[in-house]
Amino acid sequence: MSLFTIGGKPQPFPELRPDLRVEPLDRPAPELHWREVRNGFSRLQIGDHTMWTMYDPPDWRLTYLMDVHMIGKVELHGVEGLELQDDEYDHERDWQVSRSWTFIAATAEQGRWLGTDRRRRGVRVLRTFLDEGFDDDWGSFALVLRDTGRFARQADGALAQRHTPDDPDDRAGVLGMAKLTVGERKFECVHVIDVPAQPTERDALMECFVRPDDGRLIICRRYNGRLWGHGNKVYADRGPWDEHLPDAQRLVVDGVPFIHWYDCLGHIAVGVDPDDYAISSS
């Protein structure tokens, strides 16, 4: 039974997350040309249409869906970029759609968030890269990633970082190749870990699986350091994340444990065709 409709059609994603399985592959990862909005599934080209979802523990039920159209060009403070129209469907808003816009610039090697246009308590709020703190929240990201040997898997499954001069100035690095199974669908992906070079308990980590032949993100998984968001009133009802999610999977990097929070699945992961859903400009 559909929870809500998009373009007059029932939303197409499964209400419960399909089973996920990851198996490392013993072969080197190719140079990855990941020409998408980092962890956002959208290709950096006009006309792209992407849909992705979020699934939360403990029952891994669908809680959020994003329907994104790359609608055209934009210029902010003299910098040219692309404009994304983001339609958000959130269970906390009873699946009522909320529209916002995001602005991205891209060169051959790097992407950069230029600005955001959101509504907050009925007020339209625009932020750009000239605003204080914007780059701390958004910033830039590499569009080409190479396996420099940054991550080494330990006998206990933990990861240790070994930084080299070849590492890009970027949070993300290549762990290797992996076979990803989503329900009955299988993908061979570059396994990317997005984490600070010197992680702490206040940081977050994204684990990403990107198809190398076309640079498409299939799924990404969010992890929190135990004190991520600590002191933020949004999470005031939650203690440290290892206590809030005591049964969640851990991923340890440089001795810092990260606690698995939620999973994001793109439309490719479950065989959805976004073009079956009409765009609205209202």
pLDDT number for residue 235: 72
Nearest to 269 by CA among 58, 65, 52, 22: 52
Residue 2 has pLDDT above 70, yes or no: no
Q: What pLDDT, on the 0 to 100 scale, is given for residue 185?
A: 98
State whether residue 135 is helix, strand or coil: helix
Strand partners, 264: 54, 220
Question: Model pTM greater than 0.85?
Answer: yes
> Six-digit token pair at 13?
């994603």
**Residue whose pair of structure tokens reads 């999977």 in the numeric block:** 249
Q: Is the pLDDT of residue 188 over 90?
A: yes
Burial annotation 6-43 (CB, 10 A radius, 16+ → b, else e): beeeebbbbeebbebeeeeeeeebeebbbbbbbbbbbb
Mean pLDDT for all residues in the chain: 93
The yes-or-no verdict on residue 133 having pLDDT over 60 is yes
Q: Token pair of 237, please? A: 């009802």
> What are the φ/ψ torsions at residue 3 (nearest 5 degrees)?
-80, -30
Q: pLDDT value at position 280? A: 58
Determine which of 42-46, 137-141, 249-253 has the lowest per-residue pLDDT on average. Answer: 137-141
* Distance, CA of 133 to CA of 147 (rounded, Å): 31
Using the 8-state DSSP alphabet, how is residue 247 labeled?
T
Structure tokens at 256: 């810092």
Please name which of 99, 12, 96, 13 lies closest in space to residue 62, comparing C-alpha atoms. Answer: 13
Q: What is the pLDDT of residue 122?
A: 83
Q: Name the band, by pLDDT with cuts 50, 70 and 90, for residue 1.
A: very low
pLDDT above 90 covers a percentage of the chain that reads 86
Burial (CB < 10 A; 0-12, 13-18, 19+), residue 168, is middle
- The size of the chain, in residues, is 282
What does the pLDDT average to over 213-235? Answer: 91
Give the integer Cα–Cα distance in Å for 187 and 268.
Answer: 10
At residue 69, the pLDDT reads: 97
DSSP-derived letter for residue 255 is T
Q: What is the mean pLDDT of residues 233-256?
A: 89
Q: Inform me whether the pLDDT recorded for 111 exceeds 90.
A: yes
Q: What distances in angstroms separate CA 250 from CA 64, 72, 217, one per listed residue?
A: 23, 40, 22
22-58 pLDDT tens trace: 999 999 999 999 999 999 999 999 999 999 999 999 9
Residue type, 72: G
192 within 8 A of 173, measured Cβ to Cβ: yes
> Residues 102-125: what's their mean pLDDT?
93
pLDDT band at 281 (very low <50, low <70, confident <90, very high): low
